[in-house]
Amino acid sequence: MAEQQQGGRVPTVIADDLHIVYRVNGARTGKGSATAALSRILKRGEDRGVRKVHAVRGVSFVAYRGEAIGLIGSNGSGKSTLLRAIAGLLPAERGKVYTDGQPSLLGVNAALMNDLTGERNVILGGLAMGMTREQIKARYQDIVDFSGINEKGDFITLPMRTYSSGMAARLRFSIAAAKDHDVLMIDEALATGDRKFQTRSEERIRELRKEAGTVFLVSHNNKSIRDTCNRVLWLERGELRMDGPTDEVLKEYEKFTGK
Amino acid sequence: MSETTHDGTVATTTPVSPDEGLTPARLAAKYGLSVSGARPSLVEYVRQLWGRRHFILAFSQAKLTAQYSQAKLGQLWQVATPLLNALVYFTIFGLILNAGRGMPKDVYIPFLVTGVFVFTFTQSSAMAGVRAISGNLGLVRALHFPRASLPISFALQQLQQLLASMIVLFAVAVGFGSYPTLSWLLIVPALALQFLFNMGLALIVARMGAKTPDLAQLMPFIMRTWMYASGVMFSIPIMLEDKPAWIADVLQWNPAAVYMDLMRFALIDGYGSENLPPHVWAAALGWAVLVAVGGFVYFWKAEERYGRG
């Protein structure tokens, strides 16, 4: 059985009946007063003060090398949660995700600090993604040039809190996109920056796709899904509603959303 | 329940392959896929952590810089904050309550300042440690790295902070007549052991704080109790003279008191070995190894669970 692989369809990500549950502290009732909190503690039991949010409910699929998979669904349907679970960043409540190597999420925002200069953030973000100092040094100029931060003066040596929101978003994307990945996951990154930067980042994503084994893309922009993906997973209320070629799924999805 | 609901609705158009019919687990095994987010072995974990040493260092330095970057005096606060603290304690304990009983003034002031600086090192490592995971959930949920990087990085940040304020400590010691001698070299092993201890402590409270964020609210009280029990601003044997001897013994053997006493012994001329409990270096080493190794293993045991909301 192992000899006859059809055209090398090698699985890179396997999700097996995956369930993700968030536990939210102190969101049980509308009342946030101290006495309400105390009575919740005294009540004991399973649900004292903790509310469970079942974000992904039993999702199973197999992703193969060379595929670009779009994730669609309305807000809060569990797309971003699913990506994080595939990356191994959110522990699964039940079920398992098997991956080939270490999938990485294209997102570096959380490692950056607003009080530091852009320059130091490039280094910090690179290190946080697991690049070595030499790799960062080699790519530093590319990252800065790509972000276009220095087009309007020497902004890279200023703290990031002085940047406009667009500038900061551009720098974040540039840092995140500087690394090559095996399994790459992109969470609505295409929407950052002005028109010129968007074109540039779409181009970079196509490049990354060529280098990566499998790409996942979360987006609400059906056009960018159609442009980049050959397969689409449609999530609704944490359940996999449809899984198939981009055109088929998008047609159903557009019917569903009433376009 | 979801089993039945989605089987009916999912429209699968994937062509049938020879792998059809394999369970996901068998399919994963066949192509050598591994479980995402599984906890690595302890040896592998240490190796990964070593691979991230540059990130750990850079993160701690970045936190240190970011801490005071909005203040006008900037990094000067690194030194000014513990100094002001010592000044407050000196006014209250030294002048008003006369807690320096049994010590001449030129010993008591460096005694107090050393105590405050050394205890602050442990205290702020624990306070930062308890929020290391729960306060950085965004980072934990966005990027992949051994989670122990965070508490270790915070402990390292406090070490750098202490090293900066050591200049003040040296100035105070010299100002009250304790000039640099060979015994000052003992500061290095004492600090190294204390750092190991702090790192272990940060790892332990980081895991507890990740599970129960409430601990961050409780921490100031625990630390303050510990501070008063460790003789930061008074000498334990002199203060507890008329109490049963075992109380003073227990207090003197607690790690915070041990590390403070070692630093005072190294730094202050008038603070001789008669003030130290017996086998104090063995105690310092024992606490450091026990807490560092124990804390590391304890933290690693929950590695795959950090980041759950």
Q: Does A22 touch chain B (CB under 8 A)?
A: yes
Per-residue pLDDT of A183-209, as tens digits, reads: 878 876 555 667 787 788 777 777 777
Q: Does B63 touch chain A (CB under 8 A)?
A: yes
- Check if the beta carbon of residue A250 is closer than 8 Å to that of residue A225: yes
What pLDDT is recorded for position A220? 80
| pLDDT-wise least confident of A145-149, A221-225, B210-214 | A221-225
Residue A200 lies in a domain: no
Pick the residue from chain A with its C-alpha nearest to B15.
A6
Report how far apart, in Å, the C-alpha atoms of B106 and of each of B100, B260, B264 are. 11, 18, 13
Q: Does A16 touch chain B (CB under 8 A)?
A: yes
What pLDDT is recorded for position B11? 45
How high does pLDDT run on average in chain A?
80
Residue A154 lies in a domain: no
Per-residue pLDDT of A59-78, as tens digits, reads: 999 988 888 899 998 888 88
Q: Is the pLDDT of residue A36 over 60?
A: yes
**Structural domain containing residue A95:** 6-103+220-257
CA contacts within 13 A on the Cβ side of A182: 13
Counting one residue from chain A and one from chain B, the pairs whose CB atoms sit within 8 A come to 180
The string of DSSP codes covering B211-252 is H-TTHHHHHHHHHHHHHHHTTSSS-HHHHTTTS-HHHHHHHH
Which chain B residues have a beta carbon less than 8 Å from that of A6? 15, 17-18
Strand pairing of A94-99 and A214-218?
unpaired
The number of domains in chain A is 1
What pLDDT is recorded for position A200? 81
What pLDDT is recorded for position B155? 96
Q: CATH code at A241?
A: 3.40.50.300
Q: What's the average model confidence in pLDDT over A42-71?
A: 79
Pick the residue from chain A with its C-alpha nearest to B307.
A90
Q: Is the pLDDT of residue A238 over 60?
A: yes
- Check if the beta carbon of residue A119 is closer than 8 Å to that of residue B65: no
Residue A56 lies in a domain: yes
| Best residue of B4, B6, B57 to probe chain A, by most A CBs closer than 10 Å | B6
Which chain B residues have a beta carbon less than 8 Å from that of A132? 54
Enumerate residue ranges in chain B where pLDDT < 70: 1-20, 308-309
| pLDDT-wise least confident of A25-29, A33-37, B256-260 | A25-29
What pLDDT is recorded for position B77? 83
What pLDDT is recorded for position B132? 92
Q: A143: distance to nearest CA of chain B, Å? A: 18
Q: Is the pLDDT of residue A37 over 70?
A: no
Hey, is B193 helix, strand or coil?
helix
Residue A235 lies in a domain: yes
| Closest residue to B24, CB basis, from A5, A24, A98 | A98
Amino acid (one-letter) located at B67:
Q
Pick the residue from chain B with its C-alpha nearest to A87.
B36
Q: Does A73 touch chain B (CB under 8 A)?
A: no
Pair of tokens at residue B137:
């959930």
Per-residue pLDDT of B70-90, as tens digits, reads: 778 877 887 788 788 888 888
What pLDDT is recorded for position B19? 66
- Check if the beta carbon of residue B143 is closer than 8 Å to that of residue A108: yes
Residue A167 lies in a domain: no
Pick the residue from chain A with its C-alpha nearest to B3.
A58
Per-residue pLDDT of A80-126, as tens digits, reads: 888 888 887 787 888 888 888 777 776 656 678 888 888 888 998 88
What pLDDT is recorded for position B7? 41
| Domain residue spans of chain B | 40-305
Q: Does A34 touch chain B (CB under 8 A)?
A: no
- In degrees rounded to 5, what are phi and psi of residue A68? -115, 115
Q: B61: distance to nearest CA of chain A, Å? A: 10
Give the residue among A211, A228, A210 at the shortest CA–CA distance from A219. Answer: A228
Which chain B residues have a beta carbon less than 8 Å from that of A109? 138, 142
- Check if the beta carbon of residue A150 is closer than 8 Å to that of residue A144: yes
Q: Is the pLDDT of residue A48 over 80?
A: no
A47 pLDDT band (50/70/90 cuts)? low
**Geometric angle at alpha carbon B102, from B263 and B259, rounded to 5°:** 15
- Check if the beta carbon of residue B211 is closer than 8 Å to that of residue B308: no
Q: Does A120 touch chain B (CB under 8 A)?
A: yes
